[in-house]
Chain A
Amino acid sequence: EIVLTQSPATLSLSPGERATLSCRASQSVSSYLAWYQQKPGQAPRLLIYDASNRATGIPARFSGSGSGTDFTLTISSLDPEDFAVYYCHQRTNWPLTFGGGTKVEI
Chain B
Amino acid sequence: EVQLVESGGGLVQPGGSLRLSCAASGFIFSTYDMHWVRQATGKGLEWVSGISTTADTHYPGSVKGRFTISRQNAKNSLYLQMNSLRAGDTAVYYCVRSYYYMDVWGKGTTVTVSS
Residues of A within 8 A of B (CB): 1, 34, 36, 38, 43-46, 49-50, 55, 87, 89, 91, 94-101
| With A43-B94, A46-B102, A91-B100 as contacts: A96 and B35 at CB distance below 8 Å | yes
Flag if B59 contacts A87 (CB, 8 Å). no
Interface centre among B47, B50, B101, B102 (most CB of A within 10 A): B101
State the main secondary structure of chain B at its contact with A.
strand
Are A100 and B44 in contact, with the CB atoms below 8 A?
A: yes
Residue of A nearest to B103 (CB): A46
Report the minimum CB–CB distance from B26 to chain A (whole Å): 14
Contacts of A101 in B (CB 8 A): 44-45
Contact present for B102 and A95 (CB under 8 Å): no
As a 0/1 sequence over residues 17 to 60 of chain B, the CB contacts with chain A under 8 angstroms (1 = contact) are 00000000000000000010000000011110010000000111
* Chain B residues, CB < 8 A from A55: 103
Segment touching A, from B8-16, B66-74, B75-83, B104-112: B104-112
